[in-house]
Amino acid sequence: MGVDEIDPPYCGPKRQCGLKTQQSYKGNQMKRIVSIDVLRGVSLALMIIIHCMIAYGDEKATESTLHFFFDDVIGNLGATWFLLMVGMSQVLSAGRKKDAGEWNLMKTALLRGAYLFAAGLLQSALAFGPSEMWDWDILPLIGSATVALYFCRFLPSWLILVISAALVFMAPWLRSFVDFTVSWGGELVRSTFFSGYLAGIYFEPVSVYKVIWSLDEILKGYFVSGTFPIFPWLAFPLIGFVIGRRIVSGQINHDLPFLHLTGLALILLGTTVSYAGIFRPESSPISDYIAPLCLYPNSITLFYLQMGVGLMLFASLYYYCDGRENAAPISGLLVVWLKRLSRYSLTVYFLHWLLICWPLWIIYFVTGKFLGQDAMGAFPAFLLGLVVVALFLMCLKGWERRGGKYSLEWGLRKITEGIGKPGRTF
């Protein structure tokens, strides 16, 4: 992207995120980027629908085209869009706090990271049971990314991209040293949906992640084998951070063709290499570089596709929503809904698993029968997901009228807003 010439490392209070303040915000520091809100809102809505289909769909549902499209296609992509937005938002947030002072910015980042990390552990314990607290869902990853991205402010963009590549390419190598499948049911199997089309192109574990309560297994899960481990998932917010720098520098419009071409090249690379993996029966998505697609673990071939689609989608949305000169502001009811989901993304993500799982637990305690992944067909589960999204939108509208009080975003703001003010000792 040629960012190293314009994005030198942080150089003091008059420069923010490696960019001149005057150049970065052009007199409109508080403007929200519509494309970021839209993509984050879309990602969140799709994740809710997908998780409803996974939690409530029965065995027959998993063989349907509808379930395949949402779980195996959109489900493999939505989380990556969400994580890219985390990196971009971090740059924009830092730009709004440029006068806070370096020490206060670091304390804020550490506190925000710890808050998100703890929220993720609490969510897993409340939704899946205390024994599954260390399943390493996406919120602990975002908490870790929040801290890492603070220190990225001192690095040139080219070095951040090198670190991102290292996270991705080291992941298969690191996984080769551990028994990855021990927490995933013991083995990876071919996707049943693909068996009649491209047998061997896509693999999945035989069960969801099961926490093993030992320190070495918990740490292994955090770094390489959990649901969203550091290797390679941290690469997405890091790359988003570099793109965010280009946004605040006013250079992103020049980069849009490059992002489209890079995304297309990555999609072609992922498609080609994963197809080649079919003809290498001994290859494994766990530790090989020419291998079939797999989300758990996130194979390097799937990473190419995820990043390629993410770059192309964001570039297209940014051009349409934010990049066109003299274009009327994007509006409409759908945009309003997506922006609302985006503003309360932390609260929605935290609560949605509870809203999905608690009815299943209540039914189990009352009847003794657990209906998880055995409650209904694909289409009813899809409709249930839409109902949950609609329920969140209605509740958030009322919540928003009351200033979002007691949301997780409100709590995070409360514990960080006093940093740097007289009398605050933290």
- Contact (Cβ atoms closer than 8 angstroms) between residue 263 and residue 310: yes
- Give the residue carrying structure tokens 């194979």: 299
b/e burial code for range 190-210 (CB count within 10 A of at least 16 → b): ebebbeeeeebbbbbbeebbe
pLDDT tens track for 295-334: 999 999 999 999 999 999 999 999 999 888 776 677 788 9
pTM: 0.89
Angle between helices 378-401 and 34-56 (to 10 degrees): 140
pLDDT tens track for 37-83: 999 999 999 999 999 999 999 988 888 999 989 998 898 898 999 99
Alpha-carbon distance 319 to 307, whole Å? 18
Main-chain dihedrals φ then ψ at residue 293, nearest 5 degrees: -80, 150
Main-chain dihedrals φ then ψ at residue 134, nearest 5 degrees: -95, 40
Greater confidence (288 vs 19) lies with 288
- Contact (Cβ atoms closer than 8 angstroms) between residue 128 and residue 210: no
Q: How confident is the model at residue 15 (pLDDT cuts 50, 70, 90)?
A: very low
- Contact (Cβ atoms closer than 8 angstroms) between residue 173 and residue 284: no
Residue range 146-171: mean pLDDT, rounded: 96
Q: Is 376 helix (H, G, I), strand (E, B) or coil?
A: strand
Among the ranges given (85-94, 96-105, 133-142, 188-197), the one the predictor scored with the smallest mean pLDDT: 96-105
- Contact (Cβ atoms closer than 8 angstroms) between residue 284 and residue 299: no
Residue range 406-413: mean pLDDT, rounded: 90
What is the percent of the chain where pLDDT is above 90? Answer: 69
Length of the chain (residues)? 426
- Contact (Cβ atoms closer than 8 angstroms) between residue 95 and residue 25: yes
Pairing of strands 19-20, 15-16: antiparallel
pLDDT tens track for 334-365: 999 999 999 999 999 999 999 999 999 999 99
DSSP 116-155: HHHHHHHHHHHHH-GGGTTS--HHHHHHHHHHHHHHHTTS
Residue type, 77: L
Q: How confident is the model at residue 26 (pLDDT cuts 50, 70, 90)?
A: very low
